[in-house]
Amino acid sequence: MGWFGIFVLLVGWSIRGTGFNAGFFSNGRAQEQTQRFISGFLHPDLSLSYLGEVARSAVTTLQISFAGLAVGILIGVPLSFLAAANLSVNRTPGLPRWRRVLGLMPYQLARNLLNFLRAVPELVWALVFISAVGLGPFAGALAIGIHSAGLLGKLWAEQMEAVDDGPVEAIRLLGAGRTALGVLAVFPQARQNLLSLTLYQWECNVRAAAIVGFVGAGGIGQDLDVSIRLFRYSQASVLILAILALVVFADGTSALVRRSLR
């Protein structure tokens, strides 16, 4: 059996497992439901009062994304300095084994913590924080912040590890400790990329802020969830367009800031 055979088997196995049914849409009731859905979407609720509500939710979503980014920076950036081998690991050849192992501990701890923070999806973090602090945007900001910390920390650490080692060693030989090395040798070399990564993380946060609302963590996602559950497709249509506008706004703003930083 070749690769194609394996692929066909995998597809068959998945179709069976998910109850995938292409004939579903030929069913009369399903067609009616789909038509209602599409007609609702084609007639968005553009009343001023509703648009005002959507704008308020969109602003909340943006606030969740910013607050999440702030939490991510606050936790992720210090961890990234520990998780960058060129800043946190003493690589002097000839060190006794026990000192090498001991010296690796902060690095390993920071790396594993970052892996854990980022491995758990925002939605799961949102469920955790909703049970801790209740429904609403605060839980959303915390969820996105914790996940962002994991991502930002790892990306920053890798970016900092990739800088030219020559200037880092030169400044180490001037008597610099870890903080001095980080801010005087590593950060200036990686600054452009680090800022770019942070902006990208904010873009991701805007998308994530719309999604965490589905489990009750506030913002536009929460409104979308409610309107779909109540079959208010004309409102759902406006909310989906608003999410699209938010994402486009985030992409555009981020590109603009990146250009101005060059």
Partner 1 sequence: MDILVDAVTAGYRHRGAVLSEVTLGAARGEQVALIGPSGAGKTTLFRLLTRSLRPSRGRVVVGGADLGRLAGRELRSTRASIGVIHQRGDLVPSVSALANVAVATQAGAGPLAALRLAASGPTRDVAWRCREALDRLEVGHLAEVRVDELSGGQRQRVAVARLLVQAPSVVLADEPTASVDQASGDLVMEALVGLALAGAPMVIATHELAVARRMDRVVALADGVIVHNGAPTALDSGVLARIYMSDKIIASDAVETPEKAPWSRPACR
Phi-psi region of 49 (alpha: psi -120 to 50; beta: other; left: phi over 0): alpha
188 is a contact residue toward partner 1 (CB under 8 A): yes
63/196 with CB nearer partner 1: 196
Scan residues 116-145 and list those touching partner 1 (CB under 8 A). none
Min separation Cβ 47 and partner 1, Å: 50
Task: Say which amino acid occupies 38.
Answer: I
Q: Which is nearer to partner 1, 47 or 90 (CB)?
A: 90
Query: Is residue 172 part of the contact set for partner 1 (CB under 8 A)?
Result: yes
Please state, in angstroms and rounded to a whole number, the distance separating the CA atoms of residues 131 and 127: 6
For residue 146, give every residue at least 6 positions away whose Cβ sits within 8 Å of its Cβ, in sequence order, or none. 71, 72, 75, 117, 120, 125
User: 4, 175, 229, 259: which one contacts partner 1 (CB under 8 A)?
Assistant: 175
* Alpha carbon distance 68, 150 (integer Å): 12
Piece of 109-117, 120-128, 169-177, 219-227 that binds partner 1 (CB under 8 A): 169-177
61, 249 in Cβ contact below 8 A? no
Provide the minimum distance between the beta carbon of 76 and partner 1 in the complex, in angstroms, as a whole number. Answer: 19
The single residue among 171, 226, 247, 257 that binds partner 1, judged by CB under 8 A, is: 171
Counting residues that bind partner 1 (by CB under 8 A) gives 27
Q: In whole angstroms, give the CA distance from residue 76 to residue 131.
A: 23
Q: In the range 12-31, which residues lie near partner 1 by CB under 8 A?
A: none
Contact call for residue 95 and partner 1 (CB under 8 A)? yes
Is residue 174 part of the contact set for partner 1 (CB under 8 A)? Answer: yes
CB of 248 to partner 1, least distance (A): 31
Q: Tell me: does residue 177 bind partner 1 (CB under 8 A).
A: yes
The long-range contacts involving 163-168, CB below 8 angstroms and separated by at least 24 positions, are: 163/86, 163/189, 163/190, 164/189, 165/86, 168/86
